[in-house]
Chain A
Amino acid sequence: MDRRPRSFYALASFFGLFVLFLYGPILTIGILSFQGPGGGLTFPMRGVSLHWFRDLFQEQAVGDIWGAFRRSLGLGLMVMVTTVVISVMAGLAFRKRFAGSAVLFYAAITSLVIPSILISLGVGLIFQQLGLSVHWATSGFGSQLTWTLPFGLLIMFAVFNRFDKSYEEAARDQGATAWQTIRHVVLPIIAPSLIGVALFGFTLSYDEFARTLLTAGSYNTLPLEIFGMTTNVTTPVIYALGTLTTLFSFGIIAAFLLGAWIMDRRRARLGSDAGKGV
């Protein structure tokens, strides 16, 4: 191995600073959430305790955190499943040019770049004028999909651009129908990427604030609840909540990565039956 140029060390330090910049503040509130009962929002630490976590579990202190968490979890799962299914279908559709595909593509891009408060405002107005009441599982759900679906679609484009079509041709030559080809050849090959789509779907929904602001109705999702807390809670209990939700997010990412890794291994093990006489 030849020696690293000096620029390597400069860039490596820059990268280190960037990582510190990304994680530093989160670590700080992680530490501060263990403030003693008399401690405030900044250092110094006045003792170390679990006081603020206990405070968080006493519902009356800070509103309906656990209800909000349950709703966000449920909504996240709904959005995740819908995003995966619809993105895959649309991804398959876009592999061939069809009438109106360009219009649909630009609609998806618009959906990605439109300021999120406009979705909130527009959906809220429609529901209001139709005399429907907004609810996180209806208007909130649809609003969040306008953000997760374009991401899912873009990932599907990236996946299919790299897809080796000869596998499908082989399946067709063996007499597989279109549906059999998708079910037994295409889907297993793209499965690990679908975990990425699912991760996007769930976490984007779980953290979405602006699109849910006017569309969630009277029952808050977790980001809305946290936002409410930022305006009227001035104790480290909000750091305790931040620490818990961040740990939960990290847990979700770890689970998805583990899932992708296991699928990859399975595929490596079972993917080729060449020479095994199957």
Chain B
Amino acid sequence: MSATPLKNRHLLGWLMAMPLSVILAAFLIAPIVMIVIVSFWGATEYSIYPAFQFDNYEFLFGSPVTYRVFGATLKYALITWALTLAIGFTVAYFLAFHVRSLTMQIALFLICTIPFWTSNIIRMISWIPFLGRNGIANQTLISWGVIDEPLEWLLYSDFSVILAFVHLYTLFMVVPIFNTMMRIDKSLLEAARDNGASGFQTLLHVILPLTKPGIMIGTIFVVTLVMGDFITVRFMSGSQRANVGRLISNDIGLLQYPSAAATAVVLLATVLIVIAILLRFVNIRKEL
């Protein structure tokens, strides 16, 4: 193809990328544009009407609820990120450096990924028999004599929301970290050992820096999934907690689309800023 003129190369590339471009234009770009437009519209109880007003944003930024909910959203994202990173790094480290045969590595890795393919909602429901008032956790603790009364905060609380997030999303941390760890040249570890580094020093000064791209990609996944989530928060908190996603879905439920759109615009801006910061640390295309 080296003989093909330059113009044809661009044309061929465009033709092959055309279906992807069309879908993204129609179902990603156009919806974002639509949301931005509608965020300036007005709404009555029954309908929405085109306008150009800042009412929705004024209301959004004027309400203390907004700041509280954005705060809660960032709190969920931060705590979930820290937990999934700790667990994901440890699991990936074990698989990559302590399991010796490749077959075993792949088998154990698959075991970790399989639950990811089942329904998220089913995985959320599956916590009820564990955490409920008469659930396994409470009954076990009572029978051990640790507590006298069932713990009320196990289900329908921040605790259960974050537990579900960790349960649902740790895999998004394990996969990219494991992927980058598997590509670390083992002779580097030997070199570190030969130079007298302890296991911990090797971990800190060799493995951790080389795993950073994987950590960044996992972070992008976990942070964006948690920030955009509305169903886990609603379900696992028994509608007692809110994040931005729930704010949007509540407005949608009330047919207040312009207000939902304004909140969505602010959420999108927040997420994109976070991503832009994270992308400064890693070149995604190079790391795949």
A residues with CB within 8 A of B: 4-5, 7-8, 11-12, 14-15, 18-19, 21-26, 28-29, 32, 41-43, 85-87, 89-90, 92-94, 96-101, 104-105, 107-119, 121-123, 125-126, 129, 142-143, 145-146, 149, 153-154, 157-158, 161, 172, 178, 199, 203, 207, 209-210, 213-214, 222-223, 226-227, 230, 238-239, 241-242, 245-246, 249-250, 252-253, 257
Contacts and interface: CB of A to CB of B under 8 A. Distances in A.
B145 to A, nearest CB: 19
Contact of A242 (B26, B119, B264, B272): B119
A143 B21 CA distance: 14
A96 B9 contact: yes
Interface string B2-40: 000000011011111101110110111111101100100
B230 A118 contact: no
A118 B119 contact: no
Contacts of B24: 104, 107-108, 111, 146, 149
A239 B125 contact: yes
Given A12-B94, A25-B126, A252-B117, A214 B31 contact: no
Given A18-B87, A89-B17, A242 B122 contact: yes
Interface of B: 1, 9-10, 12-17, 19-21, 23-24, 26-32, 34-35, 38, 87, 90-91, 93-95, 98, 108, 110-112, 114-115, 117-123, 125-130, 132, 134-136, 139, 167, 170, 199, 220-221, 224, 227-231, 235, 245, 248-249, 252, 257, 260-261, 264, 267-268, 271-272, 275, 284-285, 288
9 contacts: A4-B98, A28-B126, A29-B126, A94-B17, A99-B13, A115-B245, A122-B34, A149-B20, A223-B119
A252 B16 CA distance: 30
B268 A118 contact: yes
> Interface residues of A: mostly helix, strand, loop or mixed?
helix
Contacts of A143: 27
Given A96-B9, A125-B31, A250 B257 contact: no
Contacts of A118: 31-32, 35, 228, 248, 264, 267-268
B38 A242 contact: no
A145 B23 contact: yes
A260 B221 CA distance: 27
Given A104-B17, A117-B248, A118-B248, 10 more contacts: A19-B112, A22-B115, A41-B132, A93-B15, A115-B245, A115-B268, A115-B271, A126-B30, A145-B23, A146-B28
A227 B231 contact: yes
B122 to A, nearest CB: 4
A242 B126 contact: yes
A119 B248 CA distance: 12
A99 B120 CA distance: 39
A11 B118 contact: no
B125 A115 contact: no
Contact of A28 (B90, B129, B224): B129
B120 A207 contact: yes
A93 B14 contact: yes
Contact of A42 (B15, B35, B95, B128): B128
Contact of A113 (B16, B220, B264): B220
Contact of B252 (A11, A29, A214, A253): A214
Contact of A121 (B98, B114, B134, B252): B252
B271 A113 contact: yes
Contact of A122 (B35, B122, B139, B272): B35
